[in-house]
Amino acid sequence: MSALVIVPDETLNPLALLLKARISAIAAVLGATQLAEVCGNLGQRVVKRLLQPAPEQEILLWGRVESGGFTVAWSSLTPEDEVVQIATAAADFGMISEVFASGRATILSTPELQSDSWSNLEQRRGRALTGMAAAPVFLFSECPAVLSVATYHSNTSPAHSPRESLAALSDAAMVLSRLMEDFMIRACVGFEAS
């Protein structure tokens, strides 16, 4: 069995440090309006495949907005225009804010979720939430995004507990992180990101 061994070229260290600083600075200011592009179609397809949401579940990618707070950058449900750049979450309290601040995945179900007090997601979708799981998306040590699975009340489908999907959600957030980092590196060095 052979193994691939990559030996770093010491002459490239200054360039690598410069690129690392540049990419970290970009990740620190990445907002909701840029997240869908950085996530890309590949990232969206991979997340959907990994999480395989039930009909009453919606995958959401949340990002920061300049005015403070958070908004949905991408949604797995159609019509996306009901929530993308419209559904918001409070900056100083609520589940999404807590995941951004702590960098830790979490799950809440009703009545603890109380999403109507910190988000307009239920209002925008016109459906009651029964639970939500959320995990941070880290890009070069920064947390510019949160990936969540929202579970809506449904009379036709069996109830899904968001607890079933926390490990899968955390794994999907990690894979999405790597895909987004790859996109950013390729874009910064001038390679076409595909």
State the virtual CA torsion across 44, 45, 49, 54 in degrees, nearest 10.
60
Round the average pLDDT of the chain to a whole number and report it.
88
Tokens read off for 10:
């010491």
Most confident of 7-11, 13-17, 75-79: 75-79
Burial of 155 (0-12, 13-18, 19+ CB in 10 A): exposed
Tell me the C-alpha distance between 65 and 171, whole Å.
Answer: 25
CATH topology of domain 33-189: Beta-Lactamase (3.30.450)
Least confident of 45-49, 75-79, 142-146: 75-79
Q: What tens digit of pLDDT does each residue of 89-113 get?
A: 999 999 999 999 999 999 988 888 8
Residue 12 burial (CB count, 10 A): 10
pLDDT of residue 70: 96
Mean pLDDT score, 20-36: 88
pLDDT of residue 188: 85
Q: In what order do the strands lie in the sheet with 57-64?
A: 88-89, 70-75, 57-64, 142-152, 129-139, 106-109
pLDDT at 162 > cutoff 70: no
- Name residue, tokens 């005015």: 67
* Angle, vertex CA 151, rays to CA 181 and CA 120, nearest 5: 80
pLDDT of residue 3: 76
pLDDT of residue 160: 55
Helix (H) or strand (E) holding 26: helix 13-29
Map out the domains of the chain as residue ranges.
33-189
Tokens read off for 84:
């993308």
pLDDT at 157 > cutoff 90: no
